[in-house]
Structure 1
Amino acid sequence: MARWPELEEWMALVDASIEPIAHRPVDLTDPDWERRMREGPDPLDEAGVRPEAESVTRELIGLYEHGDERERAAVRALLDRHPSFRWAAGPPLEPTAEGFRRCLLWMSAVDQGSDTRDELLTLWDYRAKARAAGVDPRPVLLEVAELSSAEDRFGMGSMRDILRDAAGE
């Protein structure tokens, strides 16, 4: 992990740039709040940090995918310390097995984020889109499950169990 200190530094800078956007209040009494959120600028573009965030994301996925358990735990801990980055970054879902796999690797590294329910909704959406693109999600889910944490962080199962369960449906 020769680039680890530099990676942490870039992630902290991106996280700090995105944090005001991530914590900006949303007026839920405004009947157009959902449309405004959907049609508004992407947080990475609004903060002007897309290239940096995409580069860090690619590096993290590579470390996570090819590292040992100690390195994967370090990636999970780093993402846990930078919740705004975790919220805004991540690979786009491409309609291929490899695109689905990258998104699952990211999801595994995020390790349920701040709310397992949000991660489950995202997982189910990814799985449905993979199927619609003709990708069999089961082998990819099982492969990434083996790299995932076995810790039950929020009482809804571990990331490993969640991915295995999603493979069984």
Structure 2
Amino acid sequence: MSELPELEEWIAVLDASIEPIATRPVDLTDPDWVRKMQEGPHPLDEAGIRPEAEAALRDVISRYAEGDAEGDEDLRAALRALLERYRSFCWAVTLPFEPTPEGFRQQLREMSVKDHGGDTRDMMLALNDLCGQAREAGVDLRPLLLDVAHISSDVDKYGMGSMRGILLRAAGREPVGLW
């Protein structure tokens, strides 16, 4: 964990670059607001930091996986807390899904370290979509869901279940419901 201050410094700089975009007001009274957001540049591209931001997230996920190999819950908890502190970074940076078992595992680790992200409901919808894509690609979901569930937080942050519980429910092949 001695290298976490360097990682945090790197993520803090990236977060500061994204924060003005992430917190920019959206005029919901404009009937074209959705189209404008969809057609606009991705926040990472607008900030000009996509390669650096994706590299930082890959580093976080790699350390999270190393914490799994070493059984280091303190490291995993510190990485989850790091992403919770830097909400703009967490919101804007996602890695592309590769429809392979390892790609699915990587996406699950990303969800796990982000620990619900900003909204459990959005995370559940994303998990259902991810599971559907992986299933279509022929990925055996259950062992990977169980694998990542065992390193996930068991804290029920928002009253909809812990990340561990949500992944365990998904491993039971039920859609992760919102109610």
TM-score normalised by the shorter chain: which range applies? Answer: over 0.9
Task: Pick one of 146, 152, 165 that aligns with 1:161.
Answer: 165
- Using the TM superposition, give the Cα deviation of residue 105 of structure 1 relative to its aligned residue in structure 2, in angstroms: 0.2
Residue pair 1:10, 1:52 contacting (<8 A) in 2 also = no
- In structure 2, the residue matched to 1:27 is 27
- For structure 1, the residue ranges without an aligned partner over 5 or more in a row are none
Query: Could you tell me how far apart the structure 1 residues matched to 2:102 and 2:142 are?
Result: 13
TM-score, normalised relative to structure 2: 0.90
Residue correspondences, number: 169
- In structure 2, the residue matched to 1:41 is 41
- Using the TM superposition, give the Cα deviation of residue 2 of structure 1 relative to its aligned residue in structure 2, in angstroms: 4.3
Q: Which moved more, 1:131-140 or 1:11-20?
A: 131-140
Residue pair 1:14, 1:85 contacting (<8 A) in 2 also = yes
Query: Could you tell me how far apart the structure 2 residues matched to 1:3 and 1:58 are?
Result: 15
- In structure 1, the residue matched to 2:177 is none
Residue pair 1:76, 1:110 contacting (<8 A) in 2 also = yes
Secondary structure of 1:105's partner? Answer: helix
Query: Could you tell me how far apart the structure 2 residues matched to 1:141 and 1:38 are?
Result: 31
**Percent of aligned pairs with the same residue?**
63
Q: Which moved more, 1:23-32 or 1:49-58?
A: 23-32
- In structure 2, the residue matched to 1:13 is 13
Q: Output the aligned Cα RMSD.
A: 1.1
- In structure 2, the residue matched to 1:120 is 124
Query: Could you tell me how far apart the structure 2 residues matched to 1:145 and 1:83 are?
Result: 23
- In structure 1, the residue matched to 2:104 is 100
Query: Could you tell me how far apart the structure 1 residues matched to 2:36 and 2:132 are?
Result: 26
TM-score, normalised relative to structure 1: 0.95
- Using the TM superposition, give the Cα deviation of residue 98 of structure 1 relative to its aligned residue in structure 2, in angstroms: 1.1
Does residue 138 (structure 1) correspond to residue 138 (structure 2)? The answer is no
- Using the TM superposition, give the Cα deviation of residue 147 of structure 1 relative to its aligned residue in structure 2, in angstroms: 0.6
